[in-house]
Amino acid sequence: MKKKERAALIVDALKKEYPEGICSLQYPKPHELLFAVRLSAQCTDERVNQVTPALYARFPTLEAFAQADVHEVEELIHSCGFFRAKAKDIVGAAQMLLKDFGGKVPDNMDDLLKLPGVGRKTANLILGDIYNAPGVVIADTHCIRIAGRLGLTDGTKDPGKVEEQLRKVLPPEESNNFCHRLVLHGRAVCTARVPYCEKCVLRPWCGTFNKK
């Protein structure tokens, strides 16, 4: 079976298991998703969702973030870890969005990567969730791990290579939600330490399971 055919079967299985393939970060506005993703680095989405309501209440607009005292932002996001770098990036990104992009989150990779603290993973998530761009691949740890186990990649841990390899086999219109579903599956079933293969819907295509 070719990789594209296997990928299509895996996509269908995940859609049935997780009908709502959506990002678990909560955000009312595009720039708030951008900041939430920055906060999620080395932190759980659950923790970020606990922190952001107070953060967004204190700074309800992009202008408010741009004028924020970085130290106050640090206090509000302290429990997310790496709070100094994250606070600096959030305020800096707000200022750049207003100064260079008319207060709008960019809709293309090149401009998104100009923002402080934004890498390809964040940029792809924005493009997929905010702009519904086809073909985006969010190569986070769950995606990298599970795609390797399923043989959709060559097992590389390099996010850039994972993104490139998955783009070649995934249906473009499904790739964004596919990555979100892998996150859900990675948390619930295909965990890093002990995958629960006995209840995994992806067993027919999994190299890890079939080696047992």
Catalytic member of 140, 158, 168, 211 = 140
- Single-letter residue type at 14: L
Residue 140 falls in the annotated catalytic set: yes
The SS3 of residue 147 is: helix
205 DSSP assignment: G
The distance in angstroms from the start CA to the end CA of the chain is: 21
Q: Which two tokens mark 169?
A: 């086999």
Of 184, 185, 63, 175, give the one whose Cα is nearest residue 129: 175
Catalytic member of 86, 89, 121, 129 = 121
Task: Evaluate whether 104 touches 69 at the Cβ level (below 8 Å).
Answer: no
Q: How far apart are alpha carbons 104 and 32 in whole angstroms?
A: 11
Residue 154 falls in the annotated catalytic set: no
CB-count burial class (<10 Å; 0-12, 13-18, 19+) for 41? middle
CB-count burial class (<10 Å; 0-12, 13-18, 19+) for 28? exposed
φ, ψ (nearest 5 deg) of residue 75: -65, -40
Q: How far apart are alpha carbons 114 and 106 in whole angstroms?
A: 10
User: Where in the sequence numbering do the catalytic residues fall?
Assistant: 121, 140
